[in-house]
Amino acid sequence: MSELAYLTLSQAANLLRNRKLSPVEYVEGLFRRIRDLDPRLNAFIRLTEDEAMRTARQAEAEIAAGRWRGPLHGVPYGLKDIIDAAGHPSTAHSKILLDNVAKGDATVTGKLRAAGGVLMGKLSTHEFALGGPSFDLPFPPARNPWNPDHHPGGSSSGAGAALAAGFLPAALGTDTGGSVRNPASMCGIVGMKATYGRVSRAGVIPLSFSLDHVGPMTRTVEDNALLLNVIAGYDPADTASARVPALDFAKDLKRGVKGLKIGIVRHFHIRDLPAEADMTQSIEDAGKLLTELGAELREISLPPLGDYSDCNRTILFAEAYAIHERWLQERPEDYGALTRERLLAGAFMRAVDYVQALRTRAMLTRETNAAMAAVDALICASSMQVACRIDDPAAVAATYARQARTPFNLTGLPAMSVPTGFSQAGLPLAMQIVGKPFDEAGIYRVAYAYEQASAWTSRHPALD
């Protein structure tokens, strides 16, 4: 079973296409693993077994007839439970939306279905992608497979846990202030927040209209590029969707980094928010490895982290309150306490604060893009510390504050979290790789070279 559990998406695709693995056997095997192990991890809110088996049987018949749809054909995936799948509830992990059955697919879900993917279920999230981990919601919070007493990151927490635990080779999360990259960092997987507008958000429950992204989550860099290939593209149903050409994000994976100029933003984790020693050392070691692979490492400076985080917080809470105002007035008791507290902060945001934050955002974006002009990509911290205990609210709150992900929601730049090793306690370490607008392929190129040289993504938690 462990061999099936930790097949990469690309490995599974090759086996399925060549009929060395049955989609039905693959899906059945993963469901057995989920039923056995997920009671300890709570990665799933809901399994979609009947639909998954129908889709797997259809994929098997199509592949046998020579009608292969591509690398996702017959491959299992999961959706964060704010992403619509027709006929299934999108609850946002909340009592507010327990009966919210989706009438249609989100654009990204429709693309995965068209590619032949097999939906295995809806994955745990923090309530409305904001309030968590919480123990006063209709569903328990997801836990970290590397140590179930610890937080898996959020808000795409179930996706991070499911991938690390070998329940799925692919999942979709969302990222407003780091919610794809945080669980990727905490769970030792790969999570991409592509350029703002690259991936449609139509059919996804919003948190902050101008900061939300949908992102691919996988165990390896190549798999992540293959998943982004499927979900990227212009969508008129999303007013922020960008009219940019479709790309093969995996095309340049193996070109290496020789000759590339890669910036390192040390002041984020050295001065602005000093990181734990293990995390700092892992980023330095990653930079050294990239130089050994032929890249030129340059230290660059960006505006202080506090400038980005203050601006992001103002925009996020103002926009989130605008979305939730009616429910907060009519059904405040149906929110979890943490979500309600965070959302109500938006009620006290003045119009002048929001407008000034938008002006600051434009300035920070200009300064960040100017610094990026000198390099092909940059590396920096993702989290400043490893996963904390899930039952320690103060530690969890500190974890969310101690990160360097929000600059790239604010500026819209593509950013990906990749594993960089393990702490002395055996918990995952990570860094971000950041690219220029719409240069996700460049990020994947750097990430793949680092991944192949370091091999951190080949390690998995001991759950069996």
* Mean pLDDT to the nearest integer, 321-333: 97
CB 22 within 8 A of CB 63: no
CATH 1.10.1060.10 fits 2-458, yes or no: no
Model pLDDT, residue 183: 98
Query: What share of the chain in percent tops pLDDT 70?
Result: 100
21: number of CA atoms within 13 Å, CB side?
23
pLDDT digits (tens, 9 = 90+) for 403-420: 999 999 999 999 999 999
Distance, in Å, from the CA atom of 139 to the CA atom of 457, rounded to the nearest integer, reads 30
Model pLDDT, residue 400: 87
Model pLDDT, residue 398: 87
SS3 37: helix
CB 212 within 8 A of CB 202: no
Backbone dihedral region for residue 101 (phi beyond 0: left; psi -120 to 50: alpha; all else: beta): beta
Enumerate the domain spans of the chain: 2-458
Enumerate the active-site residues.
80, 155, 179
* Mean pLDDT to the nearest integer, 14-40: 98
Question: Which tokens sit at 94?
Answer: 């909340």
From residue 246, alpha-carbon distances to 218, 241, 393 in Å are: 21, 13, 43
Q: Are strands 261-264 and 377-381 parallel, antiparallel or unpaired?
A: parallel
Question: Of 203, 176, 186, 204, whose CA–CA distance to 141 is shortest?
Answer: 186
Distance, in Å, from the CA atom of 5 to the CA atom of 30, rounded to the nearest integer, reads 6
* Mean pLDDT to the nearest integer, 197-220: 98
Question: Which tokens sit at 266?
Answer: 């040390």
Give 3-state DSSP helix, strand, coil % of the chain, rounded to 5: 45, 15, 40
Looking at residue 21, the DSSP 8-state letter turns out to be S
CB 430 within 8 A of CB 146: no
Model pLDDT, residue 131: 85
User: pLDDT band for position 464 (50/70/90)?
Assistant: confident
User: pLDDT band for position 57 (50/70/90)?
Assistant: very high
Residues sharing a CB contact under 8 Å with residue 174, sequence separation 6 or more, in sequence order = 80, 82, 83, 129, 155, 156, 180, 201, 204, 207, 212, 213, 214, 215
Backbone angles phi, psi at 86, to 5 degrees: -50, 130
* Mean pLDDT to the nearest integer, 76-103: 98
User: pLDDT band for position 246 (50/70/90)?
Assistant: confident
Model pLDDT, residue 1: 52
Distance, in Å, from the CA atom of 325 to the CA atom of 70, rounded to the nearest integer, reads 43
**Residue-by-residue DSSP string for 95-151:** GGGTT-B-SS--HHHHHHHHTT-EEEEEE--SBTTTB-S-SSSSSPPP-BTTBTTB-
* Mean pLDDT to the nearest integer, 444-460: 97
pLDDT digits (tens, 9 = 90+) for 368-397: 999 999 999 999 999 999 999 999 999 998
Kindly report the average pLDDT of the chain as a whole number.
97
48: number of CA atoms within 13 Å, CB side?
23
